[in-house]
């Protein structure tokens, strides 16, 4: 740090700092003088030396010390207000509250959430109240809508899922967050989300998606970070059995898979041996808790887990790993699936041992559900997955949109699961870390 330059800036006329520095100095001197006078009254010279004595009284010494201390406090308050004035206009909370919140969240447990689509933001929105050490690992296989158009026209990785999860970690009420999620509804930009264009443009300016995400997170001041599962372009490929037929066809492209309908027999990513992003692997290995889902099973969750290195890192990490099952089935992907069917599909594609707990909903409201909602049924009694995983149920529904998870309920369920797990882990409680 260039201290002469810093001092020169602090002494610049008109910035409202010099007067409070002078007052602070005066207060420190007065306090020190009062303390020194008190020590003189206490310490007396003996053994033949002249006794030190002063005429000032204890009341006068106390007043000098008190005035000096109050002056120091007042100067520090005024000085801090002058220095933080440019930031207070942009902060939704008082400075002290923001500092305390930042300190508490930074000490929170390390969470990695894996998924994409519209499901995973529920996890992020819920857990960001407990920790800012959150990493979202997001799929980059989308080829439809705004993301698909940008992918084809500019050769960038699809930014849509990245955008949604960045927004989930940002302040929901922030104007920048609302701007980031704004979608154009006319002209050449119709269908594009502003955040998608922003990330694409920033990737062009900075030279890489990785740098663009760092700068985007800084602009929105998010709690945590969002990383791609891979930095390589990938395409989904699925074998689908057509409805009312035994015909099996091969379909390529994320947007085509769910539109085809029928039963998904097998899913792959192309190229098959694409490498995982090193930052995502490191986050998984260093995590305390990892959540997988919720989200579209075949087009949001599995595209992450099929990337070489992701599933291996999940097996290697010491983190407590939770699969969060969807509340409702998804047409074109999981129609008729139970919780057990979701888990069996995951095992079929990535094997066993990737997670320990299955967290699922067991409340199925009729109100606000609509005629098209089909809930995911609980695990049938004595199903084989009950021998391999802990199955935990809770009320996870958003009462306004019961086919989706309520972020607060979901976060509480995750915390409760961690509390139950703590007796089997190291003495430091996961919940204590979450709430510290």
pLDDT of 52 above 60: no
From 3-17, 201-215, 393-407, 410-424, the region with the lowest mean pLDDT: 3-17
Residue closest to 115 by CA, chosen among 260, 280, 263: 280
d(CA 430, CA 5): 46
The DSSP 8-state label assigned to residue 397 in this structure reads B
Contacts of 113 (CB under 8 A, 6+ apart): 120, 123, 124, 127, 134, 135, 136, 137, 165, 290, 291
Contacts of 55 (CB under 8 A, 6+ apart): none
Q: Which fold has domain 103-435?
A: Rossmann fold (3.40.50)
Q: Please, what is the average pLDDT of the chain?
A: 85
From 122-131, 228-237, 414-423, the region with the lowest mean pLDDT: 414-423
d(CA 286, CA 425): 16
Report CA torsion sign: 300, 306, 311, 313. Answer: negative
Burial class from Cβ neighbours inside 10 Å (0-12, 13-18, 19+) for residue 4 reads exposed
- Percent of the chain at pLDDT exceeding 70: 84
Two tokens, residue 225: 């970070």
Mean pLDDT of 147-160: 89
Question: Which position has the higher pLDDT, 396 or 210?
Answer: 396
Cis peptide before 294 (omega within 30 of 0): yes
* C-alpha 186: how far from chain center: 32
Question: Which position has the higher pLDDT, 58 or 212?
Answer: 212
Give kind and range of the element (H or E) at residue 34.
helix 18-42
Sequence spans of domains, the chain: 3-89, 103-435
Burial class from Cβ neighbours inside 10 Å (0-12, 13-18, 19+) for residue 285 reads middle
d(CA 96, CA 102): 10
Report residue 112: phi and psi, to 5°.
-120, 125
Residue closest to 373 by CA, chosen among 425, 332, 327, 312: 327
pLDDT of amino acid 46: 42
pLDDT of amino acid 131: 87
Mean pLDDT of 224-238: 94
Return the HEC string of 171-225: CCCCHHHHHHHCECCCHHHCCCEHHHHHHHHHHHHHCCHHHHHHHHHHHHCCCCE
Two tokens, residue 198: 């922003």
pLDDT of amino acid 40: 77
Task: Find out whether 53 and 87 touch, Cβ atoms under 8 Å.
Answer: no
């Amino acid at each position: 740090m260039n201290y002469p330059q810093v001092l020169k800036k602090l002494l610049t006329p008109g910035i409202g700092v010099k007067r409070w520095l002078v007052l602070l100095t005066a207060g420190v001197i007065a306090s020190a003088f009062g303390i020194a006078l008190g020590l003189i009254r206490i310490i007396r010279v003996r053994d033949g030396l002249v006794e030190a004595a002063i005429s000032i009284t204890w009341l006068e010494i106390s007043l000098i010390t008190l005035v000096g201390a109050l002056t120091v406090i007042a100067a520090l308050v005024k000085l801090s207000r002058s220095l933080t004035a440019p930031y207070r206009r942009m902060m939704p909370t008082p400075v002290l509250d923001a500092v305390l919140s930042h300190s508490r969240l930074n000490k929170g447990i390390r969470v990695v959430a894996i998924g994409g689509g519209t499901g995973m933001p529920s996890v992020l929105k819920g857990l960001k109240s407990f920790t800012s050490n959150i990493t979202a690992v997001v799929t980059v296989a989308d080829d439809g809508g705004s993301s698909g158009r940008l992918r084809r026209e500019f050769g960038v990785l699809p930014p849509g899922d990245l955008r949604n999860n960045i927004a989930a970690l940002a302040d929901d009420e922030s104007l920048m967050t609302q701007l980031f999620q704004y979608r154009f509804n006319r002209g050449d930009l119709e269908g594009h989300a502003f955040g998608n264009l922003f990330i694409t443009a920033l990737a062009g300016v900075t030279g890489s998606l990785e740098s663009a995400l760092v700068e985007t997170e800084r602009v929105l001041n998010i709690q945590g970070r969002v990383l791609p599962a891979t930095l390589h372009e990938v395409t989904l490929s699925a074998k689908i059995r057509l409805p009312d037929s035994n015909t099996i066809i091969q379909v390529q492209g994320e947007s085509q898979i769910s539109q085809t309908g029928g039963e998904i027999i097998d899913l792959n990513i192309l190229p098959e041996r694409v490498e995982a992003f090193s930052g995502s692997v490191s986050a998984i290995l260093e995590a305390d808790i990892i959540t997988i889902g919720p989200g579209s099973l075949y087009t949001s969750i599995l595209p992450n887990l099929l990337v070489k290195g992701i599933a291996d890192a999940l097996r290697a990490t010491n983190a407590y790993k939770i699969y969060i099952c969807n509340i409702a089935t998804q047409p074109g992907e999981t129609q008729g699936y139970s919780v057990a069917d979701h888990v069996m599909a995951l095992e079929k594609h990535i094997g066993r041992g990737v997670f320990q707990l299955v967290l699922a909903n067991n409340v199925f409201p009729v109100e606000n559900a609509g005629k098209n909602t089909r809930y995911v049924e609980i695990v049938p009694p004595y199903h084989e997955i009950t021998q391999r995983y802990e199955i935990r149920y809770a009320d996870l529904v958003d009462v306004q949109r019961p086919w989706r998870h309520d972020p607060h309920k979901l976060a509480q369920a995750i915390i409760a699961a961690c509390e139950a797990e703590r007796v089997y882990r190291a003495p430091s409680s996961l919940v204590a870390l979450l709430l510290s």
